[in-house]
């Protein structure tokens, strides 16, 4: 029997939601692949082209972007970042599940993608801290940041959080183990979805 198409699991959530920990653990346990992003920023010491990032010149990046080759892209602090469609669809077509940790703008770009493989594969999750008080605690970090920095983080987190109704699933963050168990359940359930099976 031919393999099902992989799941493209897009995970968003504010800083402090724990989404990156969830995505990394899923990849570390071999349950899903992280896609490798492209960037125009210079490699840092030890970073390997094609492993950590695909390092592109600004011209190369813009040519690919204008050619519609990116699934999502954004400019951050003057550098371009993005994920090539081919990077993701190749894995999905081989039946591998892919996890992407994206902000709300990136997730919206994936949602808007009309590519058939992406549309069949994609599902999105918003990870949300349960209470504002708890989020503030998490964003305060090790207590070394100024109140202005913390207030800005909180403002950004609240703005990000306002986008949750655009998603399919929402995980209210509790303990790390509970969160991961429910995150994993979502992957297990999505693997049973018939629309990604052959001959359905």
Q: In the complex, which residues of this chain contact a second copy (CB under 8 A)? A: 125-126, 164-165, 167-171, 181-182, 184-186, 188-190, 192-195, 197, 199-200
Take residue 194 and report the two structure tokens written for it: 């018939």
CB of 78 to a second copy, least distance (A): 35
CB of 69 to a second copy, least distance (A): 31
Contact 14, 126 (CB under 8 A): no
**Pairing mode, strands 79-84 and 70-76:** antiparallel
Rounded to whole angstroms, how far apart are CA atoms 130 and 172?
5
Nearer to a second copy, 38 or 123 (CB): 123
CB of 114 to a second copy, least distance (A): 22
CB of 100 to a second copy, least distance (A): 18
The single-letter DSSP state of residue 194 is G
CB of 103 to a second copy, least distance (A): 18
Rounded to whole angstroms, how far apart are CA atoms 38 and 88?
12
Take residue 150 and report the two structure tokens written for it: 């913390």
H or E stretch at 73:
strand 70-76
The single-letter DSSP state of residue 98 is E
Nearer to a second copy, 86 or 162 (CB): 162
């Amino acid at each position: 029997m031919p393999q099902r198409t992989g799941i493209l699991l897009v995970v968003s959530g504010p800083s402090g939601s724990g989404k990156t920990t969830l995505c990394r653990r899923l990849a570390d346990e071999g349950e899903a692949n992280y896609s490798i992003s492209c960037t125009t920023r210079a490699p840092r010491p030890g970073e390997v082209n094609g492993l950590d990032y695909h390092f592109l010149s600004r011209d190369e990046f813009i040519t690919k972007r204008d050619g519609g080759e990116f699934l999502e892209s954004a400019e951050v602090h003057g550098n371009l970042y993005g994920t090539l469609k081919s990077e993701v669809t190749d894995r999905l077509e081989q039946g591998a599940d892919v996890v992407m940790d994206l902000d709300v703008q990136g997730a919206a770009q994936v949602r808007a993608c009309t590519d058939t493989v992406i549309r069949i594969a994609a599902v999105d999750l918003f990870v949300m801290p349960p209470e504002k008080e708890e989020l503030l605690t998490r964003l305060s970090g090790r207590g070394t940041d100024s109140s202005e920095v913390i207030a800005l983080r909180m403002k950004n987190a609240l703005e990000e959080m306002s986008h949750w109704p655009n998603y399919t699933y929402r995980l209210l963050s509790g303990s790390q183990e509970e969160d991961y168990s429910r995150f994993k359940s979502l992957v297990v359930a999505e693997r049973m979805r018939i629309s990604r099976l052959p001959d359905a």
